Amino acid sequence: MRRTGLDAAADPLFDWFADMVRRAVGVPVALVSLVGSDRQFFPGEQGLGQPWAAQRQTPLSHSFCQHVVAAAEPLIVTDARGDARVRDNLAVDELGVVAYAGMPLTDDDGHVLGSLCAIDHQPRQWSDHELQRLTELAAGCSQALRMRIASDQAELQHQAARQREQEARAAAERTQLLLRASAALGASTTFDEVVGTVRTLVIGNLDPVYVGVSTLAADGFVQLASGRQLPTRFARRWAHYGADQRTPSGLAARTGRLMSFPDLTVVAELAPDSLETFHAMGWQSAASVPLPGVHGPAGALTIVWARPHTLTDGEQVVLTALAGFVAQALSRAADYDEQRTAATTMQQALLTPLPAATHVGMAAHYVPAQQNDLVGGDWFDVIRIDDHRLAVVIGDVAGHGITAAATMSQYRTMLRTLLVDRYDYPSALLHRLERTTKVLGITATATAMIAYLAHDPDGGHTLTWTNAGHLPPTLVLPDGQISLLAYGGPLLGGLRNITRRTHTRYLPPGSLLVLHTDGLIETRTRPIDDGITRLHQLLAAHHGTPLSGLVDILMDDTNPATREDDATLLLVRTAST
């Protein structure tokens, strides 16, 4: 405890950890509590009442955390007033501790020094997600405690004032590095983002020439996640290799120990298979630290220098702590990747390819509102009814993300079924759809336009449609004249027993029909009317462009960073005579 250098005084780093707990778990009180022989004290505290917040310590008669230290395991209390372990503890009445979740804080030898704890003044069932987040933060907090101990030991070895000042400055930089790492890696959602973030973090502090991240597969093979930072031949060479290859990353990942290679002599002795790469790249030294996983090492973080370099104690602590953050970020990235794969598969199933048609050309594109969603409530559909007629649909379910996509799939599937069941006027078709959704209890609101495009003997087309609250499509005639088909009606899922109308318009050969959702033209800085004006300007300038290129022009005009809704675009161009 003394070696931590901490006492009953505020410490910015541990106050930060307490604040992270309070925000991540959603509790009124969070503490970094260290337990001594006759008291507990709080170098990190958020939300504690007076006078305890000012004193930052209590006697053990008021300590739940002493149970965490004594048992060397988490203490989870739903309602302390009825829990035999703590109901007589004075903290229940005097500090208002009712619900408690505390995770052990340990030093390098595994000794439990205290607890990172979340406290509620009401009974609370702690969720698995909350306990997992608290566990992750406790791991980072433990690393910070170890860093304090290591820094204190290193400083004791240096008597000169100049050396002490340098060590203190280095410790502060390492603390800042870990703080930045926690925030930056927490926002990384892909392997490439994790690798790029780690490289950016350590370049200024450790000054390496290469930062490598590798993962350890279940079959014992090492997979390089940072190949983009290497020349192609080396990226391919080390993309996937087995246990027979002795490299810094492989040794750390398989042994679970930090491996230091201060010069090429040690590289040749311990990791000879990587020596050729070191020579070719001009590398002189390296250090590799295992990435902790649930069932053992999950990979390795490797730092390489262009000069001989021996790790200091502080650098070892930083690398070990950083590896913990990297491992958590890679785990989250893997989860995100699975979600993205599932979402992509779902979206592909919901947005079927456009059918082949001899008398019209078509192109379409869909972009979700948020990059991580990959699915949303917009949809388009074109169904080939027969050789001369197409059914064209575009719609938008309120909201975005997976919930809107699920509702959209219901609307879309029912509408496809009704379209192929028998021919109806578009307005009658919408009435059938609304009756169906009412019986099935589907109440979500949506907009939709349903149209039939029939090929006429003279080469032109007849468009027959009804519109349920959807943005009117734009028609561009062969001579460049642009107009809106501005006949609308109430949206789906709103009013009942309403009258819907079917409209008809002749399209001469070479006409362009532009159907879209509001996400294409509306942003937080551009209202719909301005968006329609901008769309018509682009169509006036580019309406003769091939459809595939025109889709790109119209979709790319809106900055994705300002787009707040799903964006769908469907272009239909009738054949010229």
Residues listed for the chain:
577
CATH superfamily of 2-151: GAF domain (3.30.450.40)
Cα separation of 285 and 315, whole Å?
14
Q: Are 303 and 208 in contact (CB under 8 A)?
A: yes
In 160-263, which ranges are continuous DSSP H helix? 161-186, 191-206, 232-237, 248-255
The DSSP letter of residue 219 is T
Q: Which CA distances in Å does 181 have to 89, 171, 225?
A: 38, 15, 18
Class of domain 158-333: alpha beta
Q: Which CA distances in Å does 8 have to 52, 55, 112?
A: 11, 7, 18
Task: Label each residue of 55-118 as H, E or C.
Answer: HCEEEHHHCCHHHHHHHCCCEEECCHHHCCCCCCCCHHHHCCCCEEEEEEEECCCCCEEEEEEE
pLDDT attached to residue 188: 58
CATH 3.60.40.10 residue window(s) in the chain:
351-574
Amino acid letter, 562: T
Q: Which CA distances in Å does 269 have to 155, 261, 266, 295?
A: 32, 9, 5, 29
Cα separation of 479 and 495, whole Å?
40
Class of domain 351-574: alpha beta
CATH 3.30.450.40 residue window(s) in the chain:
2-151, 158-333
Cα separation of 372 and 333, whole Å?
12
**pLDDT by residue, tens only, the chain of 577 residues:** 788 888 999 999 999 999 999 999 999 999 999 999 899 999 999 999 999 999 999 999 999 999 999 999 999 999 999 999 999 999 999 999 999 999 999 998 889 999 999 999 999 999 999 999 999 999 999 998 998 888 766 666 655 556 666 655 666 665 666 556 565 565 556 666 766 677 766 655 678 888 888 888 878 898 888 888 888 889 899 988 987 899 999 999 988 999 999 999 999 999 999 999 999 999 999 999 898 887 888 888 888 999 999 988 878 888 888 888 787 777 776 666 555 555 556 556 666 789 988 899 999 998 876 555 556 778 899 999 988 899 999 999 887 667 777 788 888 889 999 998 888 899 999 989 888 888 888 888 889 999 999 999 888 999 999 999 999 999 999 999 999 998 888 888 866 677 889 999 999 999 999 999 988 888 878 888 999 999 999 999 998 899 999 999 998 887 666 667 778 899 999 998 6
Tokens standing for residue 153 = 């030991």
Q: Which CA distances in Å does 282 have to 209, 214, 479?
A: 10, 21, 65
Q: Kindly report whether the global pTM for this prediction surpasses the value 0.75.
A: no
pLDDT attached to residue 27: 95
Cα separation of 289 and 259, whole Å?
6
Cα separation of 414 and 379, whole Å?
13
Q: Are 448 and 394 in contact (CB under 8 A)?
A: yes
CB atoms within 10 A of CB 280: 11
